[in-house]
Chains A and B, each alone.
Chain A
Amino acid sequence: MRNSSVIKDIIVSIILIGVSLVVYFWMIPNYVVLTHSAGMSPRFFPQFGTALVGIFSFFMLCSSIYRYLKNIPTENATSFDMQEFLYAVMVVFCMVIFVVIFDYAGYLWSAPVLILLLMVVFEARSPLIMLLTSALVTAVLFFAFHYGLRVTLI
Chain B
Amino acid sequence: MLEEIAGSLIVVLELQNLLAIFIGVAFGIFMGAVPGLTGTMGIALIIPLTYTMTPITAFCILLGAYKGCLFGGSIPAILINTPGSPAAAATVLDGYPLCRQGRASEAMGMALWSSVIADVISTISLIFCAVLLARIALQFGPPEFAALVLFSLTIVAGVSGHSLMKGMIAAAIGFIFGTVGLDPFMASPRFTFGNLYMMNGISLMAMLIGLFAVSELLIQAERGGRSITEKLAASNAKISFKMIKNSLATIVRGSVIGIILGSIPGLGATPASFLSYSEAKRKSKTPEKFGNGELDGVAATESANNATCGGALIPLLALGVPGDVTTAVLLGAFLIQGLNPGPALFTDDIGLVYAIFIALLIAALMLPILGLLAIRGFSYIVHIPRYTLYPVIALLCVMGVYGFNSSVVDIWIMLGFGVLGYAMRKLDFPLAPMMIGFVLEPIGEQSVRQALTLSSGSWSIFISTPISIFFILLTIISIIFIIKRAISDKQQLNGTIES
* A residues adjacent to B (C-beta < 8 A): 5, 8-9, 12, 16, 23, 27, 31-35, 37-40, 42, 45-46, 48-50, 52-53, 56-57, 59-60, 63, 72-78, 80-81, 84-85, 87-88, 90-92, 95-96, 98-99, 102-103, 107, 111, 114-115, 118-119, 121-124, 129, 133, 137-138, 141, 145, 149-152
Contacts and interface: CB of A to CB of B under 8 A. Distances in A.
B286 to A, nearest CB: 17
Contacts of B186: 35, 37, 39, 42
B495 to A, nearest CB: 12
B392 A151 contact: no
Given A32-B191, A49-B176, A141 B391 contact: no
Interface stretch (B348-356, B375-383, B425-433): B425-433
Given A39-B452, A99-B415, A115-B391, A88 B428 contact: no
B221 A50 contact: no
Given A39-B449, A42-B186, A151 B399 contact: yes
B218 A133 contact: no
Given A35-B186, A141-B396, A122 B415 contact: no
B188 A115 contact: no
Contact of B392 (A56, A90, A115): A115
B139 to A, nearest CB: 24
B408 A56 contact: no
A132 B190 CA distance: 46
B449 A53 contact: no
A76 B169 contact: no
Interface stretch (B53-61, B63-71, B160-168, B297-305): B160-168
B225 A123 contact: yes
A13 to B, nearest CB: 8
A92 B218 contact: yes
Interface string B438-478: 00010001001100110001000000000000000000000
A81 B426 CA distance: 10
A91 B172 contact: no
Given A27-B191, A32-B179, 15 more contacts: A5-B428, A33-B183, A39-B185, A46-B191, A49-B172, A63-B165, A75-B493, A103-B408, A111-B395, A115-B395, A118-B391, A122-B387, A137-B391, A145-B399, A152-B406
12 contacts: A8-B427, A9-B427, A87-B221, A95-B214, A95-B415, A99-B411, A102-B398, A115-B392, A115-B395, A123-B224, A124-B387, A151-B403
Tell me if A's interface is mostly helix, strand, loop or mixed: helix
Nearest to B393: A118
A22 to B, nearest CB: 12
Contacts of A49: 172-173, 175-176, 178-179, 437, 441
Contact of B190 (A9, A46, A52, A114): A46
Interface string B383-418: 001111011101110110011001010011001001
A87 to B, nearest CB: 4
Contacts of B225: 122-124
Contacts of B402: 151
A92 B419 CA distance: 8
A39 B426 contact: no
Contact of A42 (B178, B188, B385, B411): B188
Contacts of A40: 185, 448-449, 452
Contacts of A121: 221, 224
Contact of A80 (B408, B415, B426): B426
Nearest to A46: B179
Nearest to A54: B172
A60 B218 contact: no
B97 interface: no
Contacts of A150: 45
Contacts of B445: 45
Nearest to B165: A60
Interface in B169-226: 169, 172-173, 175-176, 178-179, 183, 185-186, 188-193, 214, 217-219, 221-226
5 residue pairs, one from A and one from B, having the closest CB atoms: A123-B225, A84-B222, A118-B391, A124-B387, A122-B387
Nearest to A121: B221
Given A53-B169, A59-B165, A151-B403, A91 B221 contact: yes
Contacts of B1: none
Contact of B390 (A38, A77, A122): A122
B497 interface: yes
Interface string B222-247: 11111000000000000000000000
